[in-house]
Amino acid sequence: MLKIRYLFFIIILYCFLGGCIKREQDNDVLFQISTINALLEGIYDGEITFKELKRHGNLGLGTFNALDGEMLMLDGEIYRVRADGKVYPVPDSMKTPFSVVTFFEEDTTLVLDSNLDYKSLEAFLDNILPTKNIIYAIKIEGLFEYVRTRSVPAQEKPYPPLAEVVKTQPEFEFHNEKGTLVGFRLPEYLSGINVPKYHLHFITEDKKGGGHLLECETAKIQIGIDFTEKLFVSLPEIKEFYDADLNKGEDMEKVER
């Protein structure tokens, strides 16, 4: 009986340690729902809930079914910036057509105490990255002299393509605001699957405003970068995705900037 109990304890310990090792390995995975080209084509409904999404990361960005706002995940909490520029709570039961998340673990941290606009910030980051051929998760927090963001209103079927939606997108400005940028830098060879190069969302420190980043000017910020070498894409199992022509993508620049 003692030997059986001892064996049982070993099995339980092995399973526990194995699970821990697996979770540690999975932390370096970028988990993505659908593709950016599907979103460009107006596929705005998904089947994965935010409760499920939280199992795959604690930092990220995305959107909501019917394109009802910009999503930002920070420290495991999910926020929705709607078309009025305000931040709303997100029930676990809500669903997303496109989201990108990871478990954020900083590989590089630095403080930047200078004024850089968005393009200069991108160039600065590009200069410190060891390669442009892997994925980077990015968290930038601190004081910003200026931030301009956008969100989008909920759409009705038949859904228009994203390039049409953003023509009338509401925009928001922030001045001398503390907050956080979260997002990713992806290699250009992943264009069509995700947004190439930088894609960032902003939220104010008080969690009252934010959106998809269009412009910024930094003041004093801390930058955290997580090197990510693995990508997992969960493709929608819906008719709209099956029937869509996803070989386009020429509207990417006008939609994202």
Single-letter residue type at 13:
L
- Give the Å distances, CA to CA, from 37 to 32, 92, 96, 184, 234: 13, 26, 15, 17, 14
DSSP reduced 3-state for 115: coil
Residue 20 has pLDDT above 80, yes or no: no
Q: Is residue 71 part of a domain?
A: yes
Q: Is residue 257 part of a domain?
A: no
Residue 11 has pLDDT above 80, yes or no: no
Q: Is residue 253 part of a domain?
A: no
Q: Is residue 15 part of a domain?
A: no
Structure confidence by residue, pLDDT tens digits, 168-181: 999 999 999 999 99
Structure confidence by residue, pLDDT tens digits, 24-47: 446 899 999 999 999 999 999 999
- Give the Å distances, CA to CA, from 25 to 19, 166, 228, 236, 237: 10, 38, 11, 25, 27
Q: Is residue 2 part of a domain?
A: no
Total domains present in the chain: 1
Q: Is residue 28 part of a domain?
A: yes
Q: What is the CATH number of the domain that holds 176?
A: 3.30.1330.80
Round to whole Å and give the CA distance between 54 and 186: 21
Give this prediction's pTM: 0.89
Give me the pLDDT at residue 7, please. 40
Structure confidence by residue, pLDDT tens digits, 201-212: 999 999 999 999
Q: Is residue 117 part of a domain?
A: yes
Q: Is residue 64 part of a domain?
A: yes
Q: Which range marks the domain in which residue 199 is found?
A: 22-247
Residue 10 has pLDDT above 50, yes or no: no
- Give the Å distances, CA to CA, from 165 to 23, 71, 151, 214: 39, 17, 10, 16
